[in-house]
Amino acid sequence: MLERTPASTGDGTPMRSLMLPLALALVCLLALAGTAQAAKVAVVASGEGLSLPAGVAVTPNGDVWVTDGERGVCRVDPGGTPKLVESPYCLPHVEGGPEPLGPTGSLQMAFDPVSSNFFVAEGTSKGAGVWRMHYDSVMNTIDSHVRVVNTGENRLAGLALSPEGHVDFTGGNDHAVRRLANAGTAAPGTPTPVVGTTAGTSAAQLANLGGALYIAEPGGVTRIATPGVGDTNAVPVPGFPGGTATTLAADPANNVVYAGTANASAIDQVDVLKPGDVVQTYETGFAFTTAMGVAPDGTLYVADDPLTGGGAA
């Protein structure tokens, strides 16, 4: 059953939502208004058509795109109730067609409104690297795509877009953070120098806020204040998040970073990192969050996987 969850009654008690497995939910956090109340939640996509969503990006015209472990890069149907993933708008989508079809095992994604490109991290045995996928805002489709970075056996873990249009990404093998400069116009094979190292033994998703990189790791979230300048080792952000961080998203308009958790036996939460390293926590009723993305208007989109989370929701 899908339901729209209203705001709290004013006492700060979080309201919960019931979601289908592998649901993509729309979250409007009242933290943006400076309150500590619960989140408003509305389901915008059911689990049908998704295996494991790993990335969410929203275009300026409101199109929601999702990366999926099996389906590739898919557009969410803007007219369905609930809004399902549109099969014709998934890449790869043509068996036996010209290579490359698109990223396999698609992971975190980002959208650059300046160049009108999606950037997608890829990390499977079939291929690993960074894909650039051009978005046609008139037809609301992807009209071209190319793997602009090939990392070979070094499967990617996370990807983020900087305000200057650079793409930073982490490798699962060497745990280094690399940068594709001027990603919107960079040619395939462009060198990607190391701009930082992660503090832990593995890294998950990335977020970039004002040029600073945030890295989701098993022990929490770490920050690289100035990637590529001087000492770029990641420094832990105290108290952020309050659980195991699996996904990150940045909201430059409101100057906050979101972290989603994945607790196998508890209700998951969305933590908000505000200026001054102030952390606010929202128990959302999600189960094993896998991806987040922020729309231009500040709306936060969250994907979760209740089956993996043991039915916590």
User: Any idea what the CATH number is for the domain that residue 91 is in?
Assistant: 2.120.10.30
Strands of the sheet containing 167-171, edge to edge, are 156-161, 167-171, 176-180, 194-197
The pLDDT score that the predictor gives to residue 168 is 95
- Between 256 and 152, name the one with better pLDDT: 256
- Between 79 and 243, name the one with better pLDDT: 243
The pLDDT score that the predictor gives to residue 126 is 73
Residue 249's DSSP bridge partners are 258
| Residue 120 located in a structural domain | yes
d(CA 109, CA 124): 15
Q: What angle do CA 198, 146, 182 make, to 5 degrees?
A: 55
Residue 28's DSSP bridge partners are 40
d(CA 25, CA 301): 6
Residue 105 backbone zone (phi > 0: left; psi -120 to 50: alpha; other: beta): left
Helix (H, G, I), strand (E, B) or coil at 263: coil
Q: 10 Å Cβ neighbour count for 174?
A: 13
Q: Residue 13 pLDDT more than 60?
A: no
Tokens coding 67: 């990366």
Q: Residue 143 pLDDT more than 70?
A: yes
Find the mean pLDDT for residues 239-246: 81
State the chain's maximal CA–CA distance in angstroms: 57
Taking CA atoms, 282 is separated from 46, 202, 261, 296, in Å, by 22, 26, 11, 21
Comparing C-alpha atoms, which of 233, 197, 239 is closest to residue 219?
239
Residue 107: pLDDT band (50, 70, 90) is confident
| Residue 2 located in a structural domain | no
Q: Residue 178 pLDDT more than 80?
A: yes
Comparing C-alpha atoms, which of 141, 114, 151, 113 is closest to residue 131?
151
pTM: 0.82
- Between 88 and 220, name the one with better pLDDT: 220
Q: Which residue's structure tokens are 């200026």?
A: 275
| Residue 60 located in a structural domain | yes
| Residue 253 located in a structural domain | yes
Residue 34: pLDDT band (50, 70, 90) is very low
Comparing C-alpha atoms, which of 98, 12, 16, 24 is closest to residue 290?
24
d(CA 308, CA 109): 21
Residues 6+ apart with CB under 8 A from 192: 149, 169, 178, 179, 180
Give the whole-number percent of the chain exceeding pLDDT 90: 28
Residues 6+ apart with CB under 8 A from 139: none
d(CA 277, CA 215): 15
User: Is residue 222 a contact partner of residue 234, using CB atoms and an 8 Å limit?
Assistant: yes
Task: Encode 247-265: b = buried (16+ Cβ within 10 Å), e = exposed.
Answer: bbbbbeeeebbbbbbbbee
| Residue 3 located in a structural domain | no
| Residue 31 located in a structural domain | yes
Residue 79: pLDDT band (50, 70, 90) is low
Number of domains in the chain: 1
| Residue 6 located in a structural domain | no
Helix (H, G, I), strand (E, B) or coil at 30: helix
- Between 54 and 192, name the one with better pLDDT: 192
* Region of poorest pLDDT, from 75-79, 136-140, 184-188: 75-79
Per the structure, the complete domain to which residue 295 belongs is given by: 24-304
| Residue 9 located in a structural domain | no
Q: Residue 117 pLDDT more than 90?
A: yes
Find the mean pLDDT for residues 155-172: 91
- Between 42 and 151, name the one with better pLDDT: 151
In the chain, count H helices and then E strands: 0, 24
